[in-house]
């Protein structure tokens, strides 16, 4: 393997080295920011085992690095939602699973609990939660068609409100006012009530 790398063209080796550096930086950032949301680029560089200059070579600003972390979490979350097969589940159960998948992602990536980090926009200025909101809106609209959810409010409004409830739950955990389990329970109950459905015993 070493011989293969040694004999690889310089450009390919540089790309491979750059990819490893980026992965190390992102991995370190997830851990460090999860523990200290105000951690600096120098802190992240130290945890990644690279220089601060290397971090800036791949991410021109702290905001760019955080944006990449949020985007990675978004892609991961959407993939998990797609894999769960929620489109074929009863709407109330699908909403429960949607919230659980989203909350489990937050538990694995604690930096998402920080309000400032979680709301960092994408580098293109787009809302990082837009795709998740569209996914949730589709679920809610299906529930309204089947009569499982109240039709009195637009599904688009309900989706936005539930996402904001999720932000509020995360804020309360970050502030130490709620445990992660209690926040999830409150989020589920609040979301189901908002949609005109009642929480059911598991």
Residue pLDDT, tens place only, 117-152: 776 666 665 666 778 889 999 999 999 999 999 999
The 10 Å Cβ neighbour count of residue 194 is 17
Tally the domains of the chain: 2
Cα three-residue angle 23-28-31, rounded to 5 degrees: 130
**32 and 74 part of one domain:** no
Q: What domain range is 85 assigned to?
A: 66-202
DSSP 198: -
Q: Are 79 and 38 members of one domain?
A: no
- Of the residues 39, 59, 79, which one is the last residue of a structural domain? 59
pTM equals: 0.76
For the chain, the straight-line distance linking the first and the last C-alpha, in angstroms and rounded, comes to 51
- Could you tell me the pLDDT band of residue 201, with boundaries at 50, 70 and 90? very low
What's the pLDDT at 14?
A: 63
Residue 202: the pLDDT is: 43
Q: How many CB atoms lie within 10 A of CB 76?
A: 13
Is there a single domain that holds both residue 123 and residue 43? no
Report pLDDT digits (tens) over 85-119: 898 999 999 999 999 998 888 888 888 877 777 76
Instruction: Judge contact between 132 and 103, C-beta under 8 A.
Output: no
Judgement on whether residues 93 and 186 belong to the same structural domain of the protein: yes
On whether both 83 and 175 belong to a single domain, the answer is yes
Distance of CA 63 to the CA centre of its chain: 16
């Amino acid at each position: 393997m070493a011989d293969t790398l040694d004999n690889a063209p310089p450009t390919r080796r540089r790309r491979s080295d750059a990819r490893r550096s980026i992965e190390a930086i992102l991995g370190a950032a997830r851990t460090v920011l999860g523990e200290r949301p105000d951690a600096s680029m120098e802190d992240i560089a130290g945890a990644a085992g690279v220089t601060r200059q290397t971090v800036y070579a791949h991410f021109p600003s702290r905001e760019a690095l955080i944006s990449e972390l949020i985007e990675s979490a978004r892609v991961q979350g959407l993939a998990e939602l797609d894999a769960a097969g929620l489109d074929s589940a009863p709407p109330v159960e699908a909403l429960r699973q949607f919230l659980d998948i989203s909350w489990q992602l937050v538990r694995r990536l604690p930096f998402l609990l920080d309000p400032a980090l979680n709301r960092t926009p994408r580098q293109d200025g787009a809302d990082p939660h837009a795709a998740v909101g569209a996914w949730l809106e589709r679920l809610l609209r299906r529930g309204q068609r089947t009569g499982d959810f109240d039709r009195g409010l637009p599904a688009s409004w309900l989706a936005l409100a539930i996402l904001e409830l999720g932000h509020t739950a995360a804020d309360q955990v970050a502030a130490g006012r709620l445990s992660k389990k209690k926040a999830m329970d409150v989020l589920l109950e609040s979301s189901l009530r908002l949609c005109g459905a009642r929480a059911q015993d598991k």
